[in-house]
Structure 1
Amino acid sequence: MPKKIIFKHLLAIRWMHWINFPVLTIMIWSGMLIYWANDVYEVKIGNKQLLMFFPNGFYKFFNIPHRLAEGMAYHFVFMWLFFINGLLYVLYTIFSGEWRYLLPNRHSFKESIQVVLYDFHLSKVKPPQAKYNAAQRIAYSMIIVMGFGSILTGLAIYKPVQLSWVTAVCGGYAAARVEHFVLTVGYVLFFFIHIVQVILAGWNNFRAMVAGFEIVEK
C-alpha cells in the first residue's frame, strides 16, 4: 500500500522538547537533594502518621542523604536553562502561530474524556485527532502554566526577603514551598502519563518528535 510523509513538528519545537526533558529531570533530582534537608511533608490523621512521602529507604537506595550543597548547585544552574528554554518555547509558539494547535478550545474538555476512554479501551469510538488531541492540548497547556508556577514559587523560596512581594503573592514562604513541591509531583505524574501515551501511540508518533514527520498509508 502506498505511503506518504506528513510533516508534523517544527525543528524548534523538537529541540525545545528534547532540551526540556533532561533539564526538568535534573531539576526534579536536584530538588530531591534539597528537599532532604527538611523532609517535612507527610499524611497524618491527628497525631498519627499514615505516610511519609519519601521513607528513609528511598533516600538510602538513591544515595540522596547529605548532598544538600550539590543539589542546590545543580538546581540553581539548571533553573536558568529551564526558564530560558520555557520562555523561548512560549515566545516561539506565539509568534509562529503554533499556539492555535496547543490551546484547548470549548470542545477540548469533553473530547478529552473520549480520549481517555479510547486509550483505556473502554470505548471503540476514536476521538477527534488533529495535530494534538484534546487531552494533549489540555496537558501541554497545563505544563506551561505549571512551569510559570514553578519559577514563581522557586523565586519566592530562593529570595523570600529580596522578592518579598513574590513570596506574598504565593501566600508566604511555607505556602510557596508546598506549592513548589506539589508542582514537582505534578511533573512526575506528567512524565509517567506522557511516556505511557508515547508507548501506546507507537513508533510513528515518536519518530515525529525526533525527525519531524510521520509516515502514513494513503
Structure 2
Amino acid sequence: MQLRLQKVNPSASLPHEPSSASTPLVQPGVLVVKRHHVLVRCSHWLNIPLLLGLILSGISIYWSSPIYQHKPDPNTGNFDVAADIGIWICAHVHGQHHYASPPDWIYNHMSLGPGMLALALRIHWLCAYLFMLNGTVYVAGLALGGGWRSLLPRRTDLFDALRMLRYYLGVPFAKLTHREWLHPHFSTKYNALQRAAYFSIPVAGFLSVATGWAIHKPMQLHWLAALFGGFDVARVWHFWLMWLFIFFVVPHVILVLADGWDTLRAMIVGWSTKVDRSEVIENES
C-alpha cells in the first residue's frame, strides 16, 4: 500500500472547526500516515461475522460425519472424539454433571447444534460465497492501495521476529514489575511477526476455499480433491484450516489491544498519527 506522510500545518485548522473520526486531528509537529485502503478495511471487518458463521455451521456439519473416529465404545457405542470430550467435560466439570446429552456438549456449545445438517449446509455455503466475494474485495484493496508490498517477506524477518517475540513475552513481566519495556523500532508498516501472520491468512483463505470445493464436488472436481490427497484428506485440511483462523484471531485481538488505540483506529478510518519523523516519505512499506 502506498503510504504518505503528511506534515500537519497548525494554521490549517481553526479551533472552532468540527473534527470527525475520519479526519486526522491537527496537532503541531504530528505527521499523518495513510495505512489501509477503504476496501481492505471493509473486508477486514466483514470477515468477523462471515468466519463466525462458517465455523458454527462447519462444526455442525462435522457432527454428521466426524473426521476423527475410533472403535465404538463398548458401553456407549460412541466413536466420535469430540463426543468423548463432551462426555469428559460433563463427568469432571462442576455444574455439568446433569447435562442432558454429554456427547453433544461440544456441538451444542461450539456450533449451531447437532442434528442440523441441512440448515448448517445452507448457512455454510451462504457464508462461503460471501467469504469468497469478500476475499476478492480484500485482494482488490491490497492491489489498489499497494498494501501487498507490506506483506512480502524480508531477508531480516527471522531476526526481527525473534526481537518481537522477546518483546511480547516481556510485556506482561514489565507491566507487573512497573518496568519500562521498549517496543523494537521498525521502519516498515508491519513487524516481522505481523507480516508472517497477515501473509499466511490470505493463503489459508485460498486453501479453505479450494478444500471446500474439493469436498463439495469430489467427482466433478476430482483433480482438485486429488491435489489434497483425496476426499478424506481434503476434509482434514479443511478442518485444521478452520483452527488456523481461530488460533490467529485470538492473539491478533489481544496484540492489537496491547498495541494501543492508534492501531485499531487505523483499521477503522485508514490513517495513523503514530509517526514522529520530520521527513516526508513516499511509498513506504
Q: Same fold (TM over 0.5)?
A: yes
Which residue matches 2:137?
A: 88
Could you list the runs of 5+ residues in structure 2 that have no partner in the other structure? 1-26, 72-79, 87-102, 172-180, 277-285
Note the alpha carbon deviations across 1:80-122, whole angstroms, 9 max, x for none: 1111211232243235422111112121232112112111217
Query: What amino acid sits opposite 1:79 in the alignment?
Result: A
Q: Pick closer, same or farther for the CA change 1:167–1:132 going to 2, 3 Å.
A: same
Q: Which protein shows a greater Rg?
A: 2
Q: Pick closer, same or farther for the CA change 1:120–1:145 going to 2, 3 Å.
A: same
Could you list the runs of 5+ residues in structure 1 that have no partner in the other structure? 45-50
Residues 111, 127 of structure 1: 8 Å contact kept: no
Residue 129 (structure 1) shift: 4.9
Query: What amino acid sits opposite 2:36 in the alignment?
Result: H
SS in structure 2 at match of 1:120: helix
Query: What TM-score comes out, normalization by structure 2 length?
Result: 0.68
Task: Give yes or no for the alignment of 1:175 onto 2:233.
Answer: yes
Task: Give yes or no for the alignment of 1:66 onto 2:115.
Answer: yes
Task: Give yes or no for the alignment of 1:27 onto 2:54.
Answer: yes
Task: Give yes or no for the alignment of 1:17 onto 2:44.
Answer: yes
1:200 to 236, 258, 273: 258
C-alpha RMSD of the superposition? 2.6
Residues 256, 263 of structure 2: 8 Å contact kept: yes
Residues 3, 217 of structure 1: 8 Å contact kept: no
Pick the structure with more strand per residue.
1
Q: Distance in 2 between matches of 1:43 and 1:115?
A: 42
Note the alpha carbon deviations across 1:48-88, whole angstroms, 9 max, x for none: xxx93453322234561111111100111111111121123
Q: Distance in 2 between matches of 1:88 and 1:113?
A: 33
SS in structure 1 at match of 2:170: coil
Which residue matches 2:153?
A: 104
2:186 to 128, 131, 135: 128
Residues 40, 137 of structure 2: 8 Å contact kept: no
Larger mean Cα displacement after TM superposition, 207-216 or 163-172: 207-216
Identity, % of aligned positions: 35
Pick the structure with more helix per residue.
1
